[in-house]
Structure 1
Amino acid sequence: MTTPAAVTLDERLCLALYTASRAMTSRYRPLLGELGLTYPQYLVMVLLWEEGDASVGQVGARLDLESSTLSPLLKRLEAMGLVTRTRASRDERSVTVGLTAAGRGLEARAAHVPAAICDATALTTPGQAALVAQLRTLAVELAASLEP
């Protein structure tokens, strides 16, 4: 077994994940620029395209975004005419996010993005699914290691 001190920078998982994440985000940038979206905005839109209306809390939980990040992001999407934010009549603290017609229409314009990203990774569909499963397991294990 290799001791942590013997692991070089280039062998560290943290650096590999960091550089891969930055490379992924950089690859998305030109594709999303054509749509007028940032990467976090795109993730919100994909969530709404796939799952429909959701509360702000559900969006934040699903995307692991803090409300301090999510609120301005949703305001910007609303100002762009892509989403609506509606307060629940029974509980004014609860806000539901939904797609506008323009937001639904953007889905067709964004349809090429997943294939372009998949092509850029040089991974097969099963290979990509396996990597996603490994990363999800990694995230669960890391989160569990923080629990008392």
Structure 2
Amino acid sequence: MSDLNLKSFSGEMIRIMPSVIRGMLKKQTDEIARGHITMPQYLVLDLIDKSGPLKMTQIAREMDASLPAMSGIVERLHILKMVERFYDRRDRRIVKIGLTVKGKKVVKKITHQREKMVESVFGRLTEKERQAYLKIFKKVRDILYEKI
């Protein structure tokens, strides 16, 4: 791709992405869309759901945020009874953050609702188009996280 083509692509992406994101958000009916939790709170819940209980330093590192910022988010999730703090069984000096039953239900509910939203949008593409989109999307993710 020449510089001009890349520049045109970049401009088009910058113009399209905000409307795609807004369109996706409009189709969401989950806890985030209704304002019950914030996107950063959901991302923390999702991280803990996928990784299991984590120390605050691990959460901050994975979220690429400061420890004080993550402490505030986790505290709000604790107040909402979505996460719990507990001592590590091997070293009682270490406090870990895990999901409560309520936190697990919220993650499961949001995941299910998002799957339905993605299916309603991408169901209008052919299987070949979906495969191509997914392949490119994964490659972009890998570039962003320097896996390539």
**TM superposition score category, shorter chain reference:** 0.5 to 0.7
CA offset at residue 74 of structure 1? 0.6
Structure 1 residues 131 and 7: CA distance shift in structure 2, 3 A: closer
Kindly report which structure 2 residues correspond to 1:1-148, keeping only aligned pairs within 5 A, or say none.
1-3=2-4, 7=7, 11-12=10-11, 15=14, 19=18, 22-23=21-22, 26-27=25-26, 30-33=29-32, 34=34, 36-86=36-86, 90=91, 92=93, 94-119=94-119, 121-122=121-122, 126-127=131-132, 129-141=134-146
Question: Identity, % of aligned pairs?
Answer: 17
Structure 1, residues 85-134: CA drift from partner, whole Å, max 9, x if none? 34658475x54111122223334433422313423542666455424312
TM-score by length of 2: 0.65
Q: When the two structures are aligned, how many residues end up with a matched partner?
A: 140
- Kindly provide the amino acid, as one letter, of the partner of residue 136 in structure 1: R
RCO higher in structure (CA 8 A, sep ≥6): 2
- With the length of structure 1 as denominator, give the TM-score of the two structures: 0.65
Taking the aligned partners of 1:97 and 1:104, their CA distance within structure 2 comes to 13
How much is the aligned-residue C-alpha RMSD, in angstroms?
Answer: 3.8
Say if 2:55 and 2:96, in contact at 8 Å, map to a contact too. Answer: yes
Question: Does the 8 Å CA contact 1:84/1:100 hold for their aligned counterparts?
Answer: yes
For 2:31, what is the secondary structure of its paired residue?
A: helix
Q: CA contact under 8 A between 1:81 and 1:102: conserved in structure 2?
A: yes
Q: Which residue type is aligned with residue 52 of structure 2?
A: G
Deviation at 1:60, TM superposition (A): 2.6
Alignment partners' CA distance in 1, 2:20 and 2:57: 25
Gaps of 5+ in 1: none
Decide whether the 8 Å contact of 1:25 with 1:39 is kept in 2.
no
Deviates more, 1:99-108 or 1:67-76: 99-108
